[in-house]
Every structure is written in structure tokens, then in C-alpha cells.
Structure 1
Amino acid sequence: MTANTPEQLPPQIQLIQMGAAATSRTVCVAAKLGLADQLASGPKSASELAGPMQVHAPSLHRLMRTLASLGILTEQSAQRFALTTLGEALKTGAPGSARSSLLVFGSAWQRGA
């Protein structure tokens, strides 16, 4: 039995694999930014966080919306976002925090860059 090359895989499988890679990078970026720690005290908008985090507010908003689509954040009124139970596991020092592992997964060393 031979392994399938990407060109031999059905289009839907190729798209799912692309999505999984993008999802991984998105979650790693959230961990690197410490976004969960910034939202630990309650819901905030990207414009509220951008200055203290030294990031571009519209880009942060897009990241937060993507994280909401993944169930890590929830979008509330006035474009404010809050952590979900899943998002709580991204906080530094949370019981069983995944942040450290995600920082390793997203590191240049791990990606071979």
C-alpha cells in the first residue's frame, strides 16, 4: 500500500488538513500573545487590548473572532470577547494550562525554521 501524496487526496481532505495547520498556528499565536491572561479579568475588545499588548487592533480583532469560531473565546456585545472554558486552559498558571506546550509547538525550533 502506497502513501497518498497531497495531490492524490480528495479536495475536502486537503482543505481539512490546511485548516488544521491554520488552527494550530492561530492557537499558538494566542498563546504567544498571552491573550487569555489579558482576558482573565473579564471581557475586553481588541481596541482595549491593542495598546497594552502593542499589537494592531484590527488584526487582533480578526484573531479574536477566529478564536471565537474555534470555541476558545465567545463574542459578546460591543465587540468584546471573553474566555470560554476551553480558553481558560490558555491562561498562564491555570490548572493543566496548555500555554507552555503551545509555545513549544509554535516555536521556530519546533517548526524547523
Structure 2
Amino acid sequence: MCSVLVRREHLLHIVEKRPNARERFTEFAQDTLKKPLEIWKVSYDDDSFRLTYIGVYNTKYQMLVVIHIDHCNVLWNFMNCDKKGLNKHRHGELLFQRYRWPKQKQAALHEKVA
């Protein structure tokens, strides 16, 4: 895993969406960066890429933290969603997972991602 720089001046676009009040989820975002469930690498056409950190919690909402690597590993965005909503963010190359799947489930997951 790589180190991630979180700078206040890069967080304004995250908290400016007042109806979402996303600042409530900053502790979840920090925890997701420190102890992710999964990390996915998604490549862009310009050879840059983003890392999507997925955090799962025993709450209504789960956490996604996106790091755009072309910007010196700066925290780019974080968002919350329900557990089912996490699946659409599971694409690209799986770099890290904190768990082991039974062989059948792992084969099905790799087919879905490919």
C-alpha cells in the first residue's frame, strides 16, 4: 500500500455539498485508508490511475475513498453508500483484500471483473 496525503485545501469539494453533510464520515474515511477491506486500481486513458479504497462497517452506510495518483496521492474524494452499492465500484485490478474467498466465489469474482 502507498502513503496518502490528506490536505485540508483539497477537501472543500467534499464538504461543500451541504445536503450530504459528508464531514460526518471523515472518521470512516480515515479508517478506510488505514484498514481497507479492498483496494482497486482503475486506469485512465492518459496512463494515470485512481485507487479506490473500500471500507465496510456494521452501519447503514459503507465507505469509498478515491485517490487519484496523478495528483501526488492526494485524497480526491470519499463517499458513502449501502453495501449493495459497493459492487459497482469493484472493477479494475484488485490490489489488496483483507479476506480470503472460498475458491468458487473468488473465481466468480474474477470473471465479473474481467
TM-score range, shorter chain: under 0.3
More strand by share: 2
More helix by share: 1
- Which entry has the higher C-alpha Rg, 1 or 2? 1
Task: Give TM-score scaled by structure 2 length.
Answer: 0.24
